[in-house]
Structure 1
Amino acid sequence: MDNEIIKYYSCWLQELFIDNGMNTGFAIALGTFLNVIIVAIVVTLLDIIARKIIVQTFKAFSVKTVTKFDDFLVLSNFPRYVAHFVPLSIVWLLTPTLFAEYPWLSEFMLMALNIYLIILCSLVLRSILRTSRNYLKGKERFKDKPLDSYIQILMIFVWGLCLFLIINQLTGYSVASLTTLGAASAVLLLIFKDTILGFVASIQVSVNDIVRIGDWITFSKFGADGYVTEINLATVRVQNFDNTYTTIPTYSLIADSFQNWRGMQESKGRRIKRAIFIKQSSIKFLSPEAIEEMKKIQLIKPYIEHREREVTKYNNNTEADKSLLVNGRNQTNLGVFRKYADAFLHENPAINKDMFLMVRHLAPTDKGIPVEIFCYSYDKTWENYEHIQADIFDHLLAAIPYFGLEIFELPTGNDFKSKNLTENLS
């Protein structure tokens, strides 16, 4: 019925121009042109009205609902895209009648409308995908998941399908044609090489759980040392501890080596592994007088007494000549200090005794003998961890002179000045 009214209106308009002395062909062309202008005005008004009604309806509905999904739909312009379907449908219905005198123009308009419909559907799908991403990011179980990568992968498929459908509208070739797909694949591989690599890397990162949002990673190649704040198809964004940001290609997480501290964060402790360098010339056997003096150190008094009984028993059985300390078995100041450090760590409430704990000395170097502390702190927070580590070594460094040991340290300018002054005085 509506088409009949429009057809009658078009004929009436053309006859009006002809009655006023116009050429028939010119009258038809002028009538068609006026129809286009009138339809454009009507469609624009309808688009504005429909958009306001639908958008306001969505907003009012989203305010009353408990879920936030519809709120994100409004923010992603979903109602605006939906509103465009109203004028599009009207133009689609009117086009065959308005351009009945020009079939080629009618076909062109329908093709343009089809392309616009394809693009509009893609925008609606993009809006839904963005809404889903923003909604899921608010869920606790999805906060550390690379949702941006998943959404971008889906968007690539959506825009790829959109591109194929548009090519089909313009050329008439079927998107299922092997020749068309082969040529399109070659072009896509050439243009989107980095995107495809990122796509593959995103899948591997997600499936193998290599990196999550919130993980602390160290990637020396790119100067990254901080927390992962975003993972998408092409890049991984890291906020460094100096509050700068580093962008890392997603593919690099598969191709290169980096350090992920998640294992430490999820474990029961954070490792402390540091050495104190002891001057080799300060290491010596302990005399009976020195042993009696060290028994005043309460933390290792039981150990020294137990060890003294063992040494004395062995020396008596072997009839060792103790006029020289080197004969038989003896305690050394370095050994007693090592036991003291071990006892001190076991008494420290900040150290997790259920995890590996050891005090050892490594092979001698040109800088002395390294006495290494290896243990785990309960607190894994960086600031607290550093405080715990500092307290341990502050105490041990201050305790070293009580064992007759010296810390190795390279000479400074003041040392050379003191030496020269002593030589001059002598």
Structure 2
Amino acid sequence: MDNINHLVYNYLIELGLTDTLAINLNMLALALGLILLVFLVDFLIRKLLIQAFTQFAKRSKTNFDDLLISNKVPRNVAHIVPLLIALEFIDVVFIDFPAFEVFFERGLSVFAIVLILWIVRSVLHTLKDYFKTLPNLKDKPIDSFIQVFMIFVWVIGIFSAIALITRIPFLNFITGLGAASAVVILIFKDTILGFVASIQVSINDMVRIGDWVTFEKYGADGDVIEINLSTVKVQNFDKTITTIPTYALISDSFKNWRGMTASDGRRIKRALYIKQSGVKYLTDDDVNRLKNIQLITAYLESRQGDIKNYNTQNNINKELLLNGRNLTNIGVFRKYIDVYLKNHSAINKDMMIMARQLAPTTQGIPMEIYAFSSDKRWENYEYIMSDIFDHLIASLPYFDLEVFELPSGTRFDFMALDAETSPKAIGTE
């Protein structure tokens, strides 16, 4: 081995060069030779390994090996052999320069740690991409778990490199960091919060990739496309993307529409505001006229008979409609809505169907519809709901009812003009 170490040195001495110059040139020649050897071995092994993986991937039925190639796992693994060669022959190159040998050995050791981190990162990215192709895991926050594990790996790698450079035992180095733990926690506050949030989101199954969520605080209303350690990305329906801190999922309130999409219908909950002045009792003539509406003919005949029997048995004076039991136009209209919804082809009959009257307001009497459309697609859902309310608004005049609406500005102008030109107003001038 000594002959190899000083092969160039002996030749240069024979040529008459000084001892110092010969030693330096000998080290330079050995270093160049080692560099060329390392690059040549790295090139050959990288080509062979990538080609072998590629051929194996073509024959394999799974896509895991394809993902290994796309994430450069074979390329990174190929660097291991050249690195081992460099570590083995570093003492040969710097046999006459012990200080340089120690320096480069530490440098190669640090590079070995970095190489291991590269390999681990490539494997983790491969696992992440592979898990996303599995039906049972594609909606889980895989990115968060991979990032958490990668952070731990990088922290261990960085601490190992520092301990190696400073020649401090790893355990002693970690123990010494205890005093700086508060600073570390402050620096990685968002990461720690995101890590805790990711665990809670996953365990409680709060959000999955593909869920439709509404987060009013951040202006998000769309589908979740990515969940990682620090952020959740939501693609809104206008194709913009909103980024939400992961820990906001457990600290703030948001709406997840998964329950709706997984159910058999999408809820319709909307009210008509009916003018209160139009509400009245129905006379027999009114009831007979409304019997022409086929959906409530049977109901009116049954109710009219029951009410007449009650009033007759109790000697009710029907010269005044207020006395006894009576039908009202708003009550019959409410029954009409109920029957209409139950006969509507787009309404899910197995879920709740209800037409209810809410407390009167300054804008009229709310008549609310509560039902579920069978079609949950947004466009079709809006069409179904609009179709229902188009029909109900158009049907109000048949019940002598009106939708409440505030007077327009034009109407106010005419009212003011009428007031100014009325005989009473003129007479007071």
TM-score (norm 2): 0.94
User: What does residue 376 of structure 1 align with?
Assistant: 372
Which of 271, 276, 281 is the equivalent residue of 2:272? 276
Does 125-134 or 164-173 show the bigger shift? 164-173
Question: What does residue 173 of structure 1 align with?
Answer: 168
How far residue 112 of structure 1 moved from its aligned partner, in angstroms, is 1.2
In the TM superposition, what whole-angstrom CA distance separates every residue of 1:266-316 from its partner, at most 9, and x where no partner exists? 122211111111111111111111111111111111111111112111211
Q: Distance in 2 between matches of 1:12 and 1:266?
A: 78
Pairing partner for 2:33 from 33, 38, 54? 38
SS of the residue aligned with 1:268?
A: coil
Taking the aligned partners of 2:123 and 2:117, their CA distance within structure 1 comes to 10
Q: Which residue of 1 aligns with 2:3?
A: 8
Moved more, 94-103 or 197-206: 94-103
Contact 2:5 2:95 in 1 (8 A): no
Post-superposition offset of 1:417: 5.5
**2: CA distance, partners of 1:421 / 1:96:** 107
Of the candidates 12, 37, 43, which is equivalent to residue 17 of structure 1?
12
Question: Which of 110, 113, 117 is equivalent to 1:115?
Answer: 110
Aligned to 2:190: 194
Which of 92, 101, 120 is matched with 2:87 structurally? Answer: 92
SS at match of 1:176: helix
**2:253 aligns to what?**
257
Counterpart residue number, 1:287: 283
Partner residue, 1:139: 134
Q: Aligned-pair RMSD on alpha carbons? A: 1.8
Q: State the secondary structure of the residue aligned to 2:224.
A: strand
Task: Please name the residue that 2:222 is paired with.
Answer: 226
Partner SS for 1:226: strand
Alpha-carbon displacement from aligned partner over 1:151-198 (angstroms, at most 9, x marks no partner): 111111111111121012111222222532414634432322211111
- The aligned length equals 421
Matches within 5 A, 1:24-423: 24-177=19-172, 179-183=175-179, 185-416=181-412, 419=415
1:175–1:181 Cα contact (<8 Å) kept:
no
Measure, in 2, the Cα distance between the counterparts of 1:420 and 1:149: 66
CA contact (8 A) 2:8 2:29 kept: no
Q: Flag structure 1 segments of 5+ consecutive residues without an equivalent.
A: none
Residue type of the partner of 2:247? Y
Question: How far does residue 221 in structure 1 lie from its aligned partner after superposition?
Answer: 0.9
Whether the aligned pair in 2 keeps the contact of 1:222 and 1:248 (CA below 8 Å) is: yes
Task: Flag structure 2 segments of 5+ consecutive residues without an equivalent.
Answer: 424-429
> What TM-score comes out, normalization by structure 1 length?
0.94
Structure 1 stretches of 4+ moved >6 Å: 420-426
| Offset at residue 253 of structure 1 (A) | 0.6
1:422 shift after superposition: 7.1
SS of the residue 2:136 aligns to: helix
Letter of the aligned partner of 1:247 in structure 2?
T
